[in-house]
Structure 1
Amino acid sequence: MRTPMFLLSSMSLALAAAMTPIQAYSADGNPRVNQRGYLPEAPKVAVYATANDAAQTWELWRNGALVASGMTTPKGADAASGERLHQIDFSSVDIEGEGYELKVGGDRSYPFAIDEQVFSGPLYDAIRYYYHNRSGIEIETQFTGGGRSSYAPDARLARPAGHIGVAPNLGDYNVPCWPGTCNYSLDVSKGWYDAGDHGKYVVNGGISVWKLLNAYERNHYFGKHKEAFADGTLNIPESGNGVPDLLDEARWQMEFLLAMQVPEGEALAGMVHHKMHDENWTGLPLAPHEDPRQRYLVPPSTAATLNLAATAAQSARIWKDIDPDFAARCLTAAQRAWQAAKQHPDVIYKDDFNNGGGGYGDQDVSDEFVWAAAELFVTTGDASYKNDIQWDEDLTPDWAWPQTRIPALMSLAMVPADHSATLREQARGTLVSLADKLVTVIDSQGYLPPLGNEEYYWGSNNVLANKLAITALAYDFTGEDKYADATLKSVDYLFGRNALSLSYVTGHGVHAVKQPHHRFWAGVLNSSYPWAPPGALAGGPNPGLEDDVAKAALSGCESKPQTCFIDDIGSWSTNEITINWNGALVWTLAFVNDLAEGGDGPDPDPNHDPVAAFSINASNLTLNLDASASSDPDGDALNYQWDFGDGAVGSGKTASHEYAAPGVYSVMLKVSDGRGGEASLTQQATLDDGNSQGACEYIVQNEWNSGFVALIRIHNQGSSPVEGWEVSWQYSDGTQINNQWNANFSGLNPYKASPLDWNKTIQPGAYVEFGMVGQKGSATAQTPTVSGDVCH
């Protein structure tokens, strides 16, 4: 988030005053092109600014040879740039190579390439941005470059770990609450620094990690190059662990978000702290390990809580088969957060804690409820979340951290869960309709961005890139080239085909941003600090001119908003970089790079994972299983494998098994489609010998080395409603419960539970459930007997 200019060090001010301001408008690089380049089969459009409205002759040259020529297409006045423009379409040229230049009379473009790999380097550089901005870990020289990025490791980019309690840091291992707000501390040492500052924010951090994870899911379900994010692609410390590198990077942030949840036993338990940062603003330049200020937790908010609910639910399904323990931990956190947000739906962040960090205040959290409900429903299939999944027909394509209905639709539309089929089709229809509107906007603009004149505000490049996710998905859903073409044409804007002929991505283009607003990448202020590495996306044109540098240099630009940008480290309102903006760049570049890697069309026969589902019918010690509800989105025949939970296995769509003794057994079904797609589902089955009349079940849902997740299910097997209930249970091995939800807990072995207001009544034939997370007392999670009047 931003830094007020008056907090720049005296050295920074002196250096800034001595620098020659970069002009807001430059005639160099005209015609304006994507300075990185173009895919061979992609549309290739350049823009030429001239006062002459007559068609002009253009020529395409490479290595001193004329490659192609033609006439420009006059487009007339362009309000966003204040220019009169012509477009140059040279899409027919598909010969790969570097050093292309367009010429019109005596004017020439910056050089560019035509190449299948033109977006590969920028993509992996954009992802690498996150490793460089990690908190709580040393940034080692060997990991500062390499992998599939465009640059090699560089010692100048290395730094000690930030905020780990080594002087002068006070550290993030034991961060207290803002004075007067609570009396505990949390270890929140992981995560990514948000932007130019060293704050860490749940709201913006949530949408940032969601974008990376959604890009991963998009590649999984629609990408033709499935190994795009594979282990080893990034050269980060976790490379080689068998997990896709993109997920390793995203997990660093998820660990921070999980750590920001209010512990059980505290007021607002299950809610999530809005943010954490220094008590006062720090200046530039400053490395994370040099920060001397006290850092605090800011009170919880409903918006932050729902950010965790959404991203943790998303993570639960992604890590389900990669790290089941982490997946279970995420799902538990998501469900706790959802329940807490439902109980506290209007805890709105107030601007009482903006000294030292950005606010990220969100006054309307109705969209966050939609987003969290959608992610939880897609992940769990629990129909109780569906009532909160609603959107209007007049939904706009604008989305960002304060507006999260589009992310809800993207997940619903993308993940082929059988239980969400109806909502999936509705979401796809809405997104394609929005994409049609965006295509119209793009084609109406001189420089072909999906932005109207009023949409050049703080972070306008993020606004652009976010919208391109919609046109990209429309292509995935329909296969219509107009959506891919629109996406590609608008990406060109970010790499230099704009009014300033400036690439907004550091390190990519002859004329690219060099000095974004960042405390550590501050080489322009002090040569002992590095300059920004390739792959960071600047915020972009912003006629609001909120900072003093932009006000002084760009006054009068407001009538031509696309020119309201200055590449100056002091201009935080136009030239800051952030984790959410780079997330939009990653998502968009992953799509366009996949077009090259996978060919010029969507996979005509993509393979989607099947969906596992089965019903249980227990009669005494006999268990009958039916997996007829399992399905495959592609219509493939399924193979069925059963694990009955007692050491026995079986196969077939239906199965029957006789158990030797009563108990609660974990039954797992695994289905596979014969083309590499598979899915599994585990359910608990209670078997008795016919002598038990109990209506209370203790079910271990998941367990790991030291912990477990369990629930207690209370059935009403009678003919009249149960009004109020209390149950108890006791462990014999020292098991302890750490967290719980959906009931009031009391006692300590034996434990007691009683209802909340909303689940105290159990109708005939219905049941209620409440859950817990605990520390095991032995190698295997114990399954105690649940007692109480309602159990008989």
Structure 2
Amino acid sequence: MSKEVIRLNQMGYRPQDRKIATFRCDGEYLIIDSKTMETVYKGTASKIFLNDKNSGEDVYVFDFSDFTQEGSYRLEVAHLCRSAIFTISKHPYRDVNRGMLKALYYQRCGMELTPEYAGVFAHKICHHDRALDLQTHTFREVSGGWHDAGDYGRYVNAGINAVAMLDMAYELTPHSLNISFDVPNDSANLPDVLNEIKYEMDFFLKLTNPDGGVNHKVTTWSFGGAVMPENDVGELVICECSMEATATFTAGALMTARVFEPFDPQYAQTLREAAFKAFDWVEKHPDYPGFKNPKNLFTGEYGDTDLRDEVLWATVAMYRETGNDEYAQRAIRIIEANPTLDLVNLTCCCVGGFSAYEVFSMENPNQQLYDLYKAAFIKRCDEFISIASQEGFGVPLEYKDYTWGSNVTLLYRAVALILGYKYFGNKTYEEVALRSLGYIFGENPTGFSYVTGFGAFPYNYPHHRPSDSDGVEQAIPGLVSGGPNVFKNDTFLEKFLAPDTPPAKCFIDDAASYSGNEITVYWNTAAVFLAAWFDD
């Protein structure tokens, strides 16, 4: 099977970009025009990784960057094996990005997804009953937002991460994201991507409280079974306000307000006012503990034991919004008092990289604050480049990184590398980020495209309740998989993977593998960021 021998970016390549494929055998590699069947390019391995430690393979790297002719092609080796068709074109990531964006629409909660927009994936309205507020013991209307992942929970810090990634992408690559992806949009001038952001932010606004605090999440008491969302009818509960939710809401709302200002100034002001109240809550609760599930609640916790990075992001966001240097001084004090604080990561529970972006992208930032972030970013990006240079598939992942959500670890590192390239000019950062996106799109040891419905060999059985229960063989398209997990944190992987399976192959395309094959909205948006960057 060609995906077992030849691995490539199944979405294709731009003419000007570096183009890499990997083979499991040595030889003369040919590029075959898929229409004329003529050989248009020949080459050999530029690098060889014998017994590559994360794939367990001999990896032969074929660099055909100097072949720039647009068209559709196959790779061939030794007249024995041909790859699937791939393209060289100006916009190879446009369609998959539309798909990954529309996947957010498929995650919408509290509304009917109609056949007009959802096709065979349509379903009835879900989770629209009033929810019990565990803090006030009253019932509130909190419909809307996105289902976070394979379950039907809605979590603020996870959702804000997804929104902030889209905001950041829109600020950097608006041309790539001013595209239609066939979703309901009643606004005359709001791009589809901002309309989708607004659907999530409107839900978050419902979770703000008079004192500024933001409730942590809305879920049922426990995870439901593999049922369609309208059949997940357990009692909805609203958890107490948390620092994780309130601090990240502060920052995310201010970033979103900035993006919305040219389109809807009134909505932007609503977000700013809510963010200022939320930051007032943050300041009044300096020792607030990390969130823990209350008794008898058994859904995803999304708590954090270290809240310094969330408070830092909120503080820097206030600096960016107001220009008041006192906030910059506070941020400097937080960083200098905590030398191990991660200023680069972009996960939902480690958000230092978002605060770095706020500083890098503003005009005339406080120089001391800028220098602190710059030093941290360059150091970490250089580490990523060093790791990637030793890996057969050229990505910044080590053995220990192939854990639950390894694909998003890679995606976040690739986003950080793009920011490093954007603001500090190291072209190698961008090249490794592109190779990382290619890994997600099929140039990886499994040969799968880790995006449902896209690529020659897409995975198709995510741990995702709608895809598992809608009676449609094809998964909902555009969903990014969590990817290989060497620690096998579910019984399915533990049972069916051999103990010595190499880390990058610890993946099974099956809905039962929640620790290897679940999806989340914030994994999708990281991939959207990268696809938009390389489509600009």
TM-score, length-scaled by structure 1 = 0.64
Query: Would the alpha carbon gap of residues 570 and 90 (structure 1) be closer, same or farther in structure 2, given more than 3 Å must change?
Result: same
The partner residue of 1:546 within 481, 485, 489 is: 489
The partner residue of 1:214 within 168, 191, 199 is: 168
The partner residue of 1:227 within 175, 180, 183 is: 175
Provide the residue aligned with 1:745 in structure 2: none
CA deviations on 1:72-100 (whole Å, 9 max, x unpaired) are: 23222211111121111111111111242
Provide the residue aligned with 2:256 in structure 1: 315
Query: Would the alpha carbon gap of residues 382 and 185 (structure 1) be closer, same or farther in structure 2, given more than 3 Å must change?
Result: farther
Task: Quote the Cα distance in structure 2 between the aligned partners of 1:384 and 1:354.
Answer: 43
Task: Quote the Cα distance in structure 2 between the aligned partners of 1:565 and 1:409.
Answer: 33
Task: Quote the Cα distance in structure 2 between the aligned partners of 1:419 and 1:108.
Answer: 52
Query: Would the alpha carbon gap of residues 463 and 372 (structure 1) be closer, same or farther in structure 2, given more than 3 Å must change?
Result: same
Offset of 1:426 from its aligned partner?
5.0
Q: CA contact under 8 A between 2:347 and 2:412: conserved in structure 1?
A: yes
Q: Which runs of 5+ in 2 are unaligned?
A: none
Instruction: Out of 360-369 and 386-395, give the one that drifted further.
Output: 386-395
Provide the residue aligned with 1:328 in structure 2: 269
CA deviations on 1:515-560 (whole Å, 9 max, x unpaired) are: 11111112xx662x463233210000011212222111114145x1
Offset of 1:318 from its aligned partner?
2.2
Query: Would the alpha carbon gap of residues 139 and 424 (structure 1) be closer, same or farther in structure 2, given more than 3 Å must change?
Result: farther
Q: Secondary structure at the match of 1:38?
A: coil
Task: Quote the Cα distance in structure 1 between the aligned partners of 2:50 and 2:310.
Answer: 42
Offset of 1:480 from its aligned partner?
4.2
Q: CA contact under 8 A between 1:32 and 1:110: conserved in structure 2?
A: no
Q: CA contact under 8 A between 1:557 and 1:564: conserved in structure 2?
A: no
Cα RMSD for the two superposed structures = 2.2
CA deviations on 1:725-765 (whole Å, 9 max, x unpaired) are: xxxxxxxxxxxxxxxxxxxxxxxxxxxxxxxxxxxxxxxxx
Alignment partner of 1:132 is 2:106:
yes
Provide the residue aligned with 1:306 in structure 2: 247
Offset of 1:363 from its aligned partner?
0.8
Task: Quote the Cα distance in structure 2 between the aligned partners of 1:398 and 1:44.
Answer: 27
Q: CA contact under 8 A between 1:442 and 1:490: conserved in structure 2?
A: no
Alignment of 1:529-544 (within 5 A): 529=472, 531-544=474-487
CA deviations on 1:369-417 (whole Å, 9 max, x unpaired) are: 111111121112123322332436764744311111111001211233x
Provide the residue aligned with 1:361 in structure 2: 303
Offset of 1:362 from its aligned partner?
0.4
Task: Quote the Cα distance in structure 2 between the aligned partners of 1:96 and 1:479.
Answer: 28
Offset of 1:433 from its aligned partner?
3.9
Instruction: Out of 454-463 and 234-243, give the one that drifted further.
Output: 234-243
Q: CA contact under 8 A between 1:62 and 1:101: conserved in structure 2?
A: no
Provide the residue aligned with 2:144 in structure 1: 190
Task: Quote the Cα distance in structure 2 between the aligned partners of 1:199 and 1:138.
Answer: 17
Provide the residue aligned with 1:106 in structure 2: 80
Provide the residue aligned with 2:94 in structure 1: 120
Query: Would the alpha carbon gap of residues 557 and 396 (structure 1) be closer, same or farther in structure 2, given more than 3 Å must change?
Result: farther
Provide the residue aligned with 2:71 in structure 1: 97
The partner residue of 1:401 within 328, 348, 359 is: 348
CA deviations on 1:555-603 (whole Å, 9 max, x unpaired) are: 4145x11011111011111001101101111111111111xxxxxxxxx
More helix by proportion, 1 or 2? 2
Provide the residue aligned with 1:447 in structure 2: 393
Offset of 1:325 from its aligned partner?
2.1
Q: Which amino acid aligns with 2:160?
A: G
Alignment partner of 1:33 is 2:45:
no
Provide the residue aligned with 1:571 in structure 2: 513
Aligned residue pairs, count: 527
Q: CA contact under 8 A between 1:40 and 1:116: conserved in structure 2?
A: yes
Offset of 1:424 from its aligned partner?
4.4
Q: Secondary structure at the match of 2:6?
A: coil
The partner residue of 1:468 within 407, 414, 429 is: 414
Q: Secondary structure at the match of 1:521?
A: helix
Task: Quote the Cα distance in structure 2 between the aligned partners of 1:441 and 1:354.
Answer: 43
Q: Which amino acid aligns with 1:319?
A: F
Q: CA contact under 8 A between 1:99 and 1:111: conserved in structure 2?
A: yes
Q: CA contact under 8 A between 2:343 and 2:356: conserved in structure 1?
A: no
Identity of matched residues, %: 28
More strand by proportion, 1 or 2? 1
Task: Quote the Cα distance in structure 1 between the aligned partners of 2:405 and 2:530.
Answer: 16
Q: Which runs of 5+ in 1 are unaligned?
A: 1-25, 145-154, 165-170, 220-225, 595-792
Offset of 1:481 from its aligned partner?
3.0
CA deviations on 1:395-452 (whole Å, 9 max, x unpaired) are: 4744311111111001211233x45566446534543443233222222210111111
Task: Quote the Cα distance in structure 1 between the aligned partners of 2:4 and 2:349.
Answer: 36
| Greater relative contact order structure (CA < 8 Å, 6+ sep) | 2
Offset of 1:260 from its aligned partner?
1.1
Instruction: Out of 510-519 and 318-327, give the one that drifted further.
Output: 318-327
Query: Would the alpha carbon gap of residues 216 and 429 (structure 1) be closer, same or farther in structure 2, given more than 3 Å must change?
Result: farther
Q: CA contact under 8 A between 1:303 and 1:362: conserved in structure 2?
A: yes
Offset of 1:353 from its aligned partner?
5.5
Q: Which has the larger radius of gyration?
A: 1
Query: Would the alpha carbon gap of residues 354 and 76 (structure 1) be closer, same or farther in structure 2, given more than 3 Å must change?
Result: farther
Instruction: Out of 388-397 and 93-102, give the one that drifted further.
Output: 388-397
Q: Which amino acid aligns with 1:228?
A: S
CA deviations on 1:222-255 (whole Å, 9 max, x unpaired) are: xxxx43333x622322255202221111111111
Task: Quote the Cα distance in structure 2 between the aligned partners of 1:376 and 1:124.
Answer: 32
Query: Would the alpha carbon gap of residues 424 and 138 (structure 1) be closer, same or farther in structure 2, given more than 3 Å must change?
Result: farther
Query: Would the alpha carbon gap of residues 472 and 513 (structure 1) be closer, same or farther in structure 2, given more than 3 Å must change?
Result: same
Task: Quote the Cα distance in structure 2 between the aligned partners of 1:534 and 1:96.
Answer: 27
